[in-house]
Amino acid sequence: MSGFDLVEKEKLPAVAAISCTRCNHNIQLTTHAQAVNIGCSNCGHVLQWQNNQWAGIKNLKQHKILPAIPVGSSGRIKGIVYKVVGFVLYQEARSQHRWREYVLFNPLHGYAFLSEYDGHWTYFTFITDLPLKPTRDRSMHYQGEKYKLFHRYGSKVLYAEGEFTWKILENASHYTEFVAPPYMLAQETSSDEACWMKGTYMEPGEVRETFGLTSSLPERIGVGAIEPFDKAFSFGKVSQLGGIALVMLVVLQVFFMIVNRPQQLVEQSFDVPPPKEEYGPVNLSAIPGPSFTLNSMTGTSNLEFELYAPVDNEWFALGITLINTTTNEAYDFELGTEYYSGYTGGESWSEGSTTNDVDLSAMPDGTYRMILQPYKGILSKVNSFRIQVRKDVPLWSNFWIVLLLLAVVPGVQWIRHHSFEKSRWMNSDYSPYTYE
Amino acid sequence: MKNSLTYKLFIGYLVLVLSYFVYLSATGTRILGDDKEKFEPNGSSGSRSSGGYRGSSYYHK
C-alpha cells in the first residue's frame, strides 16, 4: 500500500487477524505491531502482548456495551480518513460518571479520539506545543483563545474492544480539561506519560454522517462541556451588530441635535383676567395669545409648550387652542401646574411644581394663532402666568425607545446565552455561577 | 446558509429601526404621541367654535 492509495483512494492498511486466546473469536488488527492490548468484542477478554505472544489478562464482559460506532468503521473528519480501531468505556475514578471513547487511526496522521458523554461528541487530536508539566492553572491561553478550567478527574476502564497502543488496564490516567467552546484542551497524565489533546465539538448528526451510521446515537442530555451556543445566531455576533447599531443611534441623535437646534418661538407673560361673576364657579375669559410661524425642511416639527404659574397650595390650568391659519386646522390641549406643601407628622413635605411642559408631535408648517383659556380654583391667588413655546426640542423619549428596540434581540440572546452557560457549568466543580 | 439568512434578517431589523429613528427625528414625531386633539375645518367636531375650550377637567386636588 502507498501514500497515494491512502490519500487519493482513501484506502486504509489491510488487516491482520489473530484469534482470541479465550474464545477463539477472530480479531482483526489494523495497527498491526503497534497494538499492545486487544479487547475481544465477543467474550470481553483483554489480551496483552507479552513474551512474544498474546495473553489474556482480564475479562471485562460484565460491563460490555455495544459501541454506537462499530469498531472497523471508516469516516473522514476534517479531511482525514480514519478507521475506528478501538472502543473504551471509561468511568470517573471517584464518581459514577461514564463516557465512551473511540480510538481513530490513520497511517499518515496517527491517532485521534472521538469522545461521547451524555450524547455530546468531541473530536480530539494530539498537540505538541504545550508544556507537559502537570498544570494547576485555572485558565490558560492557546492560539488566541482563553480556556477556563472545567474539570479534573481520574479514570478507570470498564470495558474495551479493538486494539490499543497503550496498556489500558495498567496506566490509570488523570485528566485536566480546559474549555473555550467549541474547543477543549485536555491534559492527560499517567505514571509514564503526559500529553495534550485539543478537542472540537461535533454535532451528533455530523458523527452519524461521517461514519454512515443508520442506528440512532445516544440522546443529548443537558449542555455539553464545549457545546457552542446557538451557532446560527451567536451571542458574540449579535452583540457586535447591536453595538454598531447603538453607536449609529448615538451619532444620529447628536447629528439631529446639531442640525435641529431648539428655537424659541414665544415667551410671554399674561395677567389672569378677573372672574366673570363674583360668586359661584370661577369662570375666566379666554385670552388671545401670540402668533408664531413654523417652518421646517420636512414640513413638520415638534413643539414644546412650557407654562409657569406662581401656584402655592393650589392649581392652575391652561386650555390652549392652536389654529393653523393656513389650513384652518385647530389643535386643543391642556397644560397645568400644581404645587402643594405642608407639615405633617413632624415632617415637612411638598409635591408638584410651578412649571410644567408638554410636547406636541409632528406639527405641520404654517402660521399659528394661540387662544389661551385659563382655569383656577375659587380661592386661587394666581393672577399671572408665563408661556414659552420652542420648536425642534430633542425628543429623548424617542432615543430611549429606539435604544430599547435595538437592544431587544441582543438582550434576549444574552438571557439565553447566560442560561446556556449556567447549564454548561453545572457539570463543573469550577463553575463561576452560583446555583440555588 | 441558514446562519447567513438569520444575520441578514437581524441586520435588516436594525436598519429598519434606525431608519424609523431618522424619520422620527427629521419630522419631529414623538413615538409616544401627545395629548393634543385635532379638529378639521368643518370636520367632525361640528358645533365646536374655534378658540373655545371644552371645559376644564384637569387639576383638582
Whether residue A358 is predicted with pLDDT greater than 50 in this model: the reply is yes
- Strands A98-106, A384-391: parallel, antiparallel or unpaired by DSSP? unpaired
Place B45 in a pLDDT band, splitting at 50, 70 and 90.
very low
Determine contact: A375 vs chain B, CB below 8 A: yes
CA quadruple A24, A30, A35, A40: dihedral sign:
negative
Domain count, chain A: 3
Q: Is residue A45 part of a domain?
A: yes
Q: Distance, in angstroms, between B35 CA and closest chain A CA?
A: 6
Q: Which residue has the cell 382655569?
A: A375
Which of A315, A332, A314 lies closest to A323 in space, CA to CA? A332
Q: What 8-state DSSP symbol labels residue A34?
A: G
ipTM of this complex: 0.73
Q: For residue A358, which residues of chain B lie inside 8 Å, CB to CB?
A: 34-35
Whether residue A429 is predicted with pLDDT greater than 60 in this model: the reply is yes
Residues A201, A83 share a domain: yes
Residues A172, A33 share a domain: yes
Query: Which residue on chain A is closest to B15 by alpha carbon?
Result: A245
Query: What does the mean pLDDT of chain A come to?
Result: 90
Determine contact: A327 vs chain B, CB below 8 A: yes
Higher pLDDT: B18 or B39? It is B18
Q: Distance, in angstroms, between B53 CA and closest chain A CA?
A: 6
Residues A241, A172 share a domain: no
Q: For residue A397, which residues of chain B lie inside 8 Å, CB to CB?
A: 30-32
Contacts with A267 (C-beta within 8 Å, 6 or more apart), sequence order: A386, A387, A388, A389
Residue pair A11/A33 in contact by the 8 Å Cβ criterion: no
What pLDDT was estimated at residue A6?
Answer: 55
Place A170 in a pLDDT band, splitting at 50, 70 and 90.
confident
Q: Which residue has the cell 498544570?
A: A135
Q: For residue B4, which residues of chain A lie inside 8 Å, CB to CB?
A: none
Q: Is residue A298 part of a domain?
A: yes
Alpha-carbon distances of A359 from A153, A217, A304, A320, rounded to whole Å: 66, 63, 4, 13
Query: How much is the average pLDDT of A219-232?
Result: 90
Of the listed ranges A5-9, A385-389, B4-8, the one predicted with least confidence: A5-9
d(CA B50, CA B36): 15
Residues A378, A292 share a domain: yes
User: Three-state SS for A200?
Assistant: strand
Query: How much is the average pLDDT of A206-234?
Result: 91
Q: Is residue A15 part of a domain?
A: yes
Q: Could you report the per-residue pLDDT of A15-28, keeping only the tens digit for each?
A: 678 888 889 898 88
Whether residue A171 is predicted with pLDDT greater than 70 in this model: the reply is no
CA quadruple B17, B18, B22, B25: dihedral sign:
positive
d(CA A87, CA A64): 11
User: Three-state SS for B6?
Assistant: helix
Query: Which residue on chain B is closest to A316 by alpha carbon?
Result: B59
Beta strands (DSSP E) in A325-404 are 330-344, 347-353, 355-364, 366-376, 384-391
Residues A268, A219 share a domain: no
Residues A359, A421 share a domain: no
pLDDT cut 70: percent of chain B above it: 59
pLDDT cut 90: percent of chain A above it: 69
Residue pair A169/A37 in contact by the 8 Å Cβ criterion: yes
Whether residue A434 is predicted with pLDDT greater than 90 in this model: the reply is no
Which of B33, B61, B28 lies closest to A336 in space, CA to CA? B61
Whether residue A286 is predicted with pLDDT greater than 50 in this model: the reply is yes
Higher pLDDT: A381 or B16? It is B16
CA angle, A404 as apex, A398 and A406 as ends, to 5°? Answer: 100
Whether residue B61 is predicted with pLDDT greater than 60 in this model: the reply is no
What pLDDT was estimated at residue A216?
Answer: 87
d(CA B29, CA A398): 9
**Which candidate from B14, B37, B58 shows the least CB-CB separation from A245?**
B14
What pLDDT was estimated at residue A3?
Answer: 57
What pLDDT was estimated at residue A172?
Answer: 73
What pLDDT was estimated at residue A374?
Answer: 93
Indicate the helix (H) or strand (E) that contains A368. strand A366-376
What pLDDT was estimated at residue B56?
Answer: 46
Residue pair A390/A264 in contact by the 8 Å Cβ criterion: yes
Query: How much is the average pLDDT of A122-136?
Result: 88
Residues A245, A299 share a domain: no
Residues A248, A292 share a domain: no
Give domain limits for chain B.
Answer: 1-27
What pLDDT was estimated at residue A281?
Answer: 65
Residues A105, A149 share a domain: yes
pLDDT cut 70: percent of chain A above it: 95
Best of A402, A403, A409 to disrupt the B interface (most B CBs within 10 Å) is A402
Whether residue A390 is predicted with pLDDT greater than 90 in this model: the reply is yes
d(CA A11, CA A30): 12
Residues A108, A59 share a domain: yes
Determine contact: A237 vs chain B, CB below 8 A: yes
Higher pLDDT: B31 or B1? It is B31
Q: Is residue A431 part of a domain?
A: no
Residues A253, A161 share a domain: no
Whether residue B51 is predicted with pLDDT greater than 50 in this model: the reply is no
Higher pLDDT: A191 or A316? It is A316
Whether residue B32 is predicted with pLDDT greater than 70 in this model: the reply is yes
Place B41 in a pLDDT band, splitting at 50, 70 and 90.
low
Residues A405, A368 share a domain: no
Q: Distance, in angstroms, between A301 CA and closest chain B CA?
A: 4
* Residues spanned by the domain of A310: 262-393
Omega before A410 cis (within 30°)? no
d(CA A329, CA A322): 8
